[in-house]
Amino acid sequence: MSYLPAITTSIHNPRLRLLNALRANAKPIMTFLGLPSFRSAQIIAQTGIDGIIIDCEHGHISDDSMHTSTAAIAALGVSPLVRVRMTHADLIKRALDTGAHGIVVPQINTAEEARAVVSYSKFPPQGIRGQGSAFPAIAHGIDIPTYLQTANETLITCVQIESKAGVENVDAICAVPGVDMVFIGPNDLALSILGYVPAKGTEPEFVTAIEKIVAAARKHGKWVGRLSNDGASCKEHLKVFDTAAMSYDVRAMQNWYTAELQLARS
């Protein structure tokens, strides 16, 4: 099956902020949303961020919160992505039916798993995604027929590489047609390779694993991103990566209060 990938699509929709920035090599910055709050989604979307990953894997996000957060983010001109819990057709369909501009799928360890993700995220004939929701077109600023015609080549299908097995198979994973981006989960990757977190970032096996992932992505024409803990590390990562997800709403709140309380009590 042939695919027209998002990285080369000729379709331009100004609402797809993250996709447009990636295609322009503008080094877009994302973040993670883990709290089930319509207002948090609105506030973060007004900061200048390019994309927000609604975290249905580790975050406190229900099905209802996934829908409201996606709508709030898209309405403010930012790209909502949904990180699903696993490689399951129903979860991927449900995430895309909110109007998400893409999906992030964790713990991809084989090319077979990556091919399944692509199949679940594409309408026929490229995949098996079912159609029935009116919401995606709203979040894309288009009508339903246009969404059906354009979704297969404008939605970002992102798979996470975060294990020894994923690194071992990363070349085959990146070769899968329809995978648009690989995303490094450094904490799970460190746990799998080193047995502890956080990684210092200088461990030879950890550095080699990241370099291997980046090289495979470049070889097969995929975008590659990663998590960054803060602005300084994000700036450095963007020298190598196409995009980075800077921190997480929960950590940002914790870090601010911790730092300011230390200052207040010093």
Q: What is the DSSP letter of 112?
A: H
Q: Is 58 a catalytic residue?
A: yes
A 10 A CB-CB count for 25 gives 9
Catalytic residue, chosen from 58, 60, 140, 220, is 58
Give Dmax (Cα) for the chain: 63
Compute the distance between CA of residue 86 and CA of residue 199 in angstroms, rounded to an integer.
Answer: 24
Compute the distance between CA of residue 95 and CA of residue 120 in angstroms, rounded to an integer.
Answer: 11
A 10 A CB-CB count for 205 gives 12
Cα-based torsion angle of the residue sequence 188, 234, 16, 74 in order, rounded to the nearest 10 degrees: 80
Where in the sequence numbering do the catalytic residues fall?
A: 58
